[in-house]
Structure 1
Amino acid sequence: MQIVFLDRETISPRTVLRPIAFDHQLTIYGRTSRDQVAERIANADIVITNKVPLRQEAIEQASNLRMVAVAATGTDNVDLAACALKGIVVSNIRGYAINTVPEHVFALIFALRRSIVAYRESVKAGRWYDAQQFCYFDYPIKDLAGSTLGIVGNGTLGKAVARIAQALGMRVLFAARKGDVHPPGGYTPFDQFLADSDVITLHCPLNEQTRDLISTREFALMHRKPILINTARGGLVNEQALTNAMRQGQISAAGFDVTAPEPPDNQNALIQLLDLPNFILTPHVAWASEQAIQALADQLIDNIEAYQQGSPRNAVTAPASA
């Protein structure tokens, strides 16, 4: 059994990958570029990937490939239709980030709602001494209690974020699918959701239906000038539209942990926003507490062993068109 791990460096070196409990040969690559994928998976029975794209051409050339073990929850980097046509099982990781992502979300929310970064930078610049009194009020500070948190995505992470919000005294709204004017109970029509939220946080997958979910039109509907948090996928928000919304004051602040593409170069729209005191960008680490990464690694091996035993777990369903 040939197993190939395409991007081991995307998992912390402090994380232990326990031995796989069946005879195999494991080949580990720290990184794999797009033009190296086909060659490296050509003889593999099982491929492990976190963020390396597996597209149709490479999948079709991998004659032995029977399983793709994605070392993440999102599977937008894998051509699921091509895998389905060849009977390849695709598994992902679930539930491992139930603490780390919501905690990161609220770290961003607290920092932005209370202007922590702006005040830290102003103290560093000498503003406190210049104020000649015990405090100063250059930036807004607002409570979370009594405000409205809008959540896009009612899965494990969305629900976990909602529980924290409710404990803080926030009202919680879950967004209905865009365009659904008669949503089921418990969901708020998308446009109304945008208008009523003081903070909006995204916890949905990236696909053709959700790409550019938030763009120019949506920013114009945000009447309460909310904080926008994105720890999901960069493509959910049109980055140029976000830049315009930030510069024009359509939203009060934004905290992002993701960009499109990753890593961003110096010309990326979000990098250009880092001069603003009400914008925070972290390098896709919301998922990356030490506890969460170890749980991910353990589940990854569990998925591979379950497949070998004939009982695949966490299988991802390919699109119906496949």
Structure 2
Amino acid sequence: MSNSARAVFLDHASLDLGDLNLQPLQQAFAALTLHPQTAPEQVAERLQGAQVAISNKVPLTAATFAACPELKLVLVTATGTNNVDLAAARAHGVVVSNCQGYGTPSVAQHCLMLLLALATRLPDYQRDVAAGRWQQASQFCLLDHPIVELEGKTLGLLGHGELGGAVARLAEAFGMRVLLGQLPGRPPREDRIALHELLPQVDALTLHCPLNEQTRNLIGAAELALMKPQAFLINTARGGLVDEQALADALRRGHLGGAATDVLLQEPPQDGNPLLAADIPRLIVTPHNAWGSREARQRIVGQVAENAAAFFAGAPRRLVG
């Protein structure tokens, strides 16, 4: 197949905020159609006559592949491919490629930002200043919320790939000791510590592992109970890794020094979420934006163009499924 292909980007507004150079993508295809968003019922119609579908989160189902016989390649503008029916893609001879490692600096700094915000009680002090409490203080400073130094503390990592490694290096720069946890379903390794042994040792735990049947609700009520009462939990991976109700309950009880998450089980959380209740103390929630620096999003553009060129050259890369 040559690069005379027609491509359709089903949800380009999920990637481009008007600040990216899309020329690499535009040059990769004979024709490129951009749709800011696409509803599920619009997918098959918009992909008619296209050989390449580009999607971040728009579902590509078995019905999609059956209705779009000319489709040969799916380019996912993310690492996760749960929006694509991979078995159906294989059955219809459609190649699926994703993007990898594009957001490592962005997510790693976001993870450390969340940890630092919890350790320094940043949200609490911001609220105090906004409420006028500093202005009314009897001395020059407010120290109502205990501040924790990261130096000398222990960070536990669940997931030590490219991203976990980047977080480990940043944590070590702050003088933290890093321990690696053993993930379920993975072969045991000498440098990994069983979860039930890891959790009581750490002052902070960060998650960087994929969501699958082995890791779903990896951190639940039993695991939270094993953690130190003042430990921090950071999740910038996937919402389903943490039992959200159990975390909300633990924070309300005062067990944990704090928690921060960039991800929720349902996104956007249109049906509500236990972690969005207003009465949960010491919790920071960010809207799945850790990955979204302009630099990271531009890397995605480059990787998608690379994946297309590799496919047209007969040597597909970053294959999924």
TM-score, normalised relative to structure 1: 0.91
Partner of 1:313: 317
* Mapped pair 1:291 → 2:295: yes
In 2 relative to 1, CA 74–146 (structure 1 residues): closer, same or farther, beyond 3 Å? same
Does the CA-based 8 Å contact 1:198-1:224 persist in structure 2? no
* Shift in Å, 1:58: 2.0
Partner of 1:117: 123
* Mapped pair 1:190 → 2:158: no
Does the CA-based 8 Å contact 1:6-1:47 persist in structure 2? yes
* Shift in Å, 1:253: 1.0
In 2 relative to 1, CA 39–106 (structure 1 residues): closer, same or farther, beyond 3 Å? same
Task: Give me the whole-angstrom Cα distance separating, in 2, the residues matched to 1:175 and 1:9.
Answer: 37
Task: Give me the whole-angstrom Cα distance separating, in 2, the residues matched to 1:64 and 1:36.
Answer: 17
Secondary structure in 2 matching 1:44: coil
**What does 1:166-177 align with in structure 2 at a 5 Å threshold?**
166-177=172-183
TM-score, normalised relative to structure 2: 0.92
Partner of 2:209: 204
* Mapped pair 1:80 → 2:86: yes
Moved more, 234-243 or 114-123: 234-243
Secondary structure in 2 matching 1:129: coil
Task: Give me the whole-angstrom Cα distance separating, in 2, the residues matched to 1:248 and 1:47.
Answer: 48
Partner of 1:303: 307
Partner of 1:71: 77
Task: Give me the whole-angstrom Cα distance separating, in 2, the residues matched to 1:215 and 1:43.
Answer: 47
Identity of aligned residues (%): 45
Partner of 1:231: 236
Does the CA-based 8 Å contact 1:69-1:92 persist in structure 2? yes
Task: Give me the whole-angstrom Cα distance separating, in 1, the residues matched to 2:194 and 2:133.
Answer: 44
Does the CA-based 8 Å contact 1:117-1:277 persist in structure 2? no
In 2 relative to 1, CA 138–284 (structure 1 residues): closer, same or farther, beyond 3 Å? same
* Mapped pair 1:252 → 2:257: yes
* Shift in Å, 1:178: 2.9
Q: Deviations over 1:94-135 (max 9, x none)?
A: 121121111111111101111011011112212223330122
* Shift in Å, 1:291: 1.3
* Shift in Å, 1:60: 3.0
Q: Deviations over 1:224-278 (max 9, x none)?
A: 44211111121222222221121122222111111121111373222215x5452
In 2 relative to 1, CA 216–62 (structure 1 residues): closer, same or farther, beyond 3 Å? farther
Equivalent residue letter for 1:300: V
Secondary structure in 2 matching 1:200: strand
**Number of residue-to-residue matches in the alignment:** 315
Moved more, 305-314 or 260-269: 260-269
Does the CA-based 8 Å contact 1:195-1:224 persist in structure 2? no
Does the CA-based 8 Å contact 2:185-2:214 persist in structure 1? no
Secondary structure in 1 matching 2:259: strand
**What does 1:118-197 align with in structure 2 at a 5 Å threshold?**
118-178=124-184, 183-197=188-202
Secondary structure in 2 matching 1:3: strand
**After the TM superposition, which parts of structure 1 deviate over 6 Å for at least 4 consecutive aligned residues?**
none
Does the CA-based 8 Å contact 1:20-1:305 persist in structure 2? no
Equivalent residue letter for 2:212: N
Q: Deviations over 1:11-53 (max 9, x none)?
A: 1221111144455222211111223223323433111111112
In 2 relative to 1, CA 64–225 (structure 1 residues): closer, same or farther, beyond 3 Å? farther
Task: Give me the whole-angstrom Cα distance separating, in 1, the residues matched to 2:179 and 2:299.
Answer: 30
Equivalent residue letter for 2:150: L
* Mapped pair 1:103 → 2:109: yes
* Shift in Å, 1:179: 7.1
